[in-house]
């Protein structure tokens, strides 16, 4: 119950009314509903445009690096899967590079000295590769982009180098022991490097998109590299 003296001294009024210095309730509501001025909108749009100008090129660079990494991991997955099949099924798995952007795996026939297709008939029902033929995506090829600087042991010029020799026209074999060898000599493991880079028709491109995959023939250990003023390991 409100007493008359409370109304007289304005105690209840203080709760429901606005002080005179802040204006009446109608003025307060008008101020609360006011929007942005044209100048404020122009300033905000300008700031967004400036930020976008810095962000879009960076996003494009990120996208290209992701595509380069995808091609690199395609090579690594192809090598890893072929070796695991050779070990698990005790069969010799051969690998060829018939095109500048494709890897093909098959069953190595020692008697006929050739790669046979990987199917149930040739593998005796053994587990097959997910995809015996791997084609690099995103316009990437086996090449080193004619880099002027190369880490010792990488070689230069050819995109696929095993045992210090261009392996483009060679057949590599993962033996039943998991060794990576030349088809002409299954007893001696070979180390190798596969260089990967984008192509614009003449393969004269940004070296920062160059990638490389190395493999130790005796252990099958893979390592990935990117080019940053020299070859750096990808962690």
CA of 188: how far to CAs of 88, 113, 180, 203, 212, in Å? Answer: 20, 17, 8, 34, 23
The answer on pLDDT for 173 being more than 90 is yes
pLDDT tens digits, one per residue of 34-75 = 566 777 777 777 777 777 666 555 555 678 888 889 999 999
How many secondary structure helices (H) and strands (E) does the chain include? 5, 14
For the chain, what are the domain ranges?
Answer: 39-74+134-233
**151/207 Cα distance (integer angstroms):** 14
pLDDT of residue 97: 86
Placement of tokens 């990967």 in the chain: 196
pLDDT of residue 32: 52
Nearby residues of 103 by Cβ (< 8 Å), 6 or more positions away = 75, 78, 95, 96, 97, 133, 134
pLDDT of residue 28: 47
Task: Enter the pTM of the model.
Answer: 0.68
Q: Of 5-19, 21-35, 81-95, give the lowest mean pLDDT range.
A: 5-19
């Amino acid at each position: 119950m409100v007493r008359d003296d409370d109304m007289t001294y304005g105690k209840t009024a203080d709760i429901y009314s606005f002080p005179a210095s802040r204006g009446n309730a109608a003025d307060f509501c008008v101020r609360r509903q006011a929007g942005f001025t044209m100048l404020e909108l122009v300033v905000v749009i300008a700031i967004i445009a400036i930020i976008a100008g810095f962000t879009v090129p960076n996003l494009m660079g990120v996208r290209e690096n992701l595509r380069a990494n995808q091609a690199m991991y395609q090579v690594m997955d192809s090598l890893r899967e072929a070796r695991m099949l050779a070990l698990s099924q005790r069969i010799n798995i051969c690998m060829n590079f018939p095109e500048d952007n494709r890897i093909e795996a098959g069953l190595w026939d020692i008697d006929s000295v050739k790669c046979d297709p990987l199917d149930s008939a040739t593998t005796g029902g053994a587990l097959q590769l997910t995809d015996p033929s791997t084609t690099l995506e995103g316009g990437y090829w086996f090449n080193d982009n004619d880099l002027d600087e190369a880490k010792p042991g990488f070689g230069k010029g050819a995109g696929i180098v095993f045992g210090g020799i261009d392996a483009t026209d060679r057949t590599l074999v993962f033996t039943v022991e998991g060794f990576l060898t030349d088809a002409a000599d299954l007893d001696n493991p070979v180390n190798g490097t596969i260089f990967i880079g984008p192509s614009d028709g003449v393969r004269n491109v940004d070296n920062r998109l160059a990638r490389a995959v190395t493999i130790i023939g005796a252990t099958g250990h893979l390592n990935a590299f990117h080019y940053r003023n020299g070859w750096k390991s990808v962690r």
